[in-house]
Amino acid sequence: MTNPSFLKNPSTKIPPWLQPLWDSLEFNALPNAVLLYGQTGIGKFDFAIQLSKALLCEEKSAAVPKPCNCCEACRWFESGNHPDFLPLVPETHGKFLPHSSVEGIEESSGGKKSKSSQSDETQDSSEKKEKKNISIEDVRSSIEGLSIGAHRGGNRVVLIYPMEMLRSDAANTLLKSLEEPIGQTIFILVADRLDRVLPTIRSRCRLLAVPRPERQTGLEWLNNTLLNKDKINVPQEELGSIYDEQGGSPYAARMLVLARHNKDEKDEAALAHLASRHLLQGLAKGAEIDWLEIAEKIHKAPIRVLLITQQRWVADIESVHQAGIVRYYPKQLKTLRELSSCINQPRLLRFWKNLLRARTYENHPLAARIQLEVLLLEYKQLFNG
């Protein structure tokens, strides 16, 4: 029995919805820069790690799929010691890279022991701001190192994630080396938001859109991974809700389940989830929302998460209003219907724009509490009568 996917990917670290993308890649014919982009929590970072490994794998036989996981290069890679693999990630993301005890962890997977998971949903707190950026020094020293030949005589891979965290001076340094490729160096850039990547960088990369799975596929993967790998059994209905609330991002949903399972009260993801719950309870009240009380309860949670929750809630109100469809909070259909029936459209549009604007500053929030109060008061006024 032949299974081409399995042959090409014996490690099965590529989740099923990314397999077609993986199969489409010609490892020998990649341009010197690729930019992977797509929604947070769908497997981009794992994918980029596997791609880096495949590009560095030294298995000679064309019959053996890469990465072979057996050659010296693969072993070096897995132990985090491959000299030609140059990951540029903020300090806060270092734990997501391969090293002896860690297997591939997606950008938003909490990992089993990770205390401060840095998912899209959790990365925020101003004291960590510095560490979250990728500094000019790191970029410069990595790029300067490129002028010396590859240590092992093959490819060299520079992995940068998340591109949004690249400071602009660092981005300019990167740009120069994208303009003048050095030897067999391949840049793998990963971004959650393509619109946050400088156009000059985008235009020098092959863009690879990373898809979100179909709900059924994503849920199956989530369930299997939780059962087989994490040994956690979550009732199907609950799992479905978590999945939808995470916008159909299986890795993000897994991280949340892990954090809750570990009852890690310091886990940012778990805290953020709790704050989102409070926020949702408030939002469900529409014009009756006690905006001051809610802001008081939640303002210490990452503003990013709170903004995303508001965006999703409002998107659902709008979607119910227009087409009767719910994407994120299907259990709240009744409430969403009631709210959408008395919505003031022009105000909703303005509110939506304000949420978008707030998100552009989410990594540098000023006075998060005041910002929340303003938004929640505005939300309260969306409803007529």
Q: Under the rule (CB under 5 A), what is the footprint of Zn ion?
A: 57, 59, 67-68, 71, 74
**Which of 307, 317, 255, 261 is closest to 284 using CA atoms?**
317
Side chain identity at 217, as an amino acid letter? T
* Smallest separation (angstroms) from Zn ion to the CB of 75: 8
Judged by beta carbon, residue 71 or residue 198, the one nearer Zn ion is: 71
Judged by beta carbon, residue 11 or residue 241, the one nearer Zn ion is: 11
**Which of 137, 35, 37 is closest to 90 using CA atoms?**
137
Judged by beta carbon, residue 85 or residue 329, the one nearer Zn ion is: 85
Q: Can you tell me the distance from the alpha carbon of 339 to that of 269, in angstroms, rounded to the nearest whole number?
A: 28
The kind and range of the H/E element at 30 are none
Judged by beta carbon, residue 65 or residue 248, the one nearer Zn ion is: 65
- Residues belonging to the chain: 385
What is the Cα 27 distance to its own chain's centre?
Answer: 24
Judged by beta carbon, residue 44 or residue 66, the one nearer Zn ion is: 66
* Smallest separation (angstroms) from Zn ion to the CB of 68: 4
Q: Can you tell me the distance from the alpha carbon of 298 to that of 195, in angstroms, rounded to the nearest whole number?
A: 29
* Smallest separation (angstroms) from Zn ion to the CB of 87: 18
* Cβ(229)–Cβ(110) below 8 Å: no
Judged by beta carbon, residue 184 or residue 354, the one nearer Zn ion is: 184
* Smallest separation (angstroms) from Zn ion to the CB of 83: 15
Phi–psi pair at 367, nearest 5 degrees: 45, 65
Q: Which ranges in the chain belong to alpha helices (H)?
A: 4-8, 19-24, 44-56, 72-78, 129-132, 136-145, 168-179, 199-202, 215-224, 236-245, 250-261, 268-283, 291-298, 303-323, 333-341, 345-360, 368-380
Phi–psi pair at 66, nearest 5 degrees: -105, 150
Judged by beta carbon, residue 59 or residue 230, the one nearer Zn ion is: 59
* Smallest separation (angstroms) from Zn ion to the CB of 103: 16
* Smallest separation (angstroms) from Zn ion to the CB of 210: 24
**Which of 88, 94, 106, 107 is closest to 167 using CA atoms?**
88
* Smallest separation (angstroms) from Zn ion to the CB of 57: 3
Tokens matching residue 203 = 């235009």
* Smallest separation (angstroms) from Zn ion to the CB of 107: 24
Judged by beta carbon, residue 70 or residue 367, the one nearer Zn ion is: 70
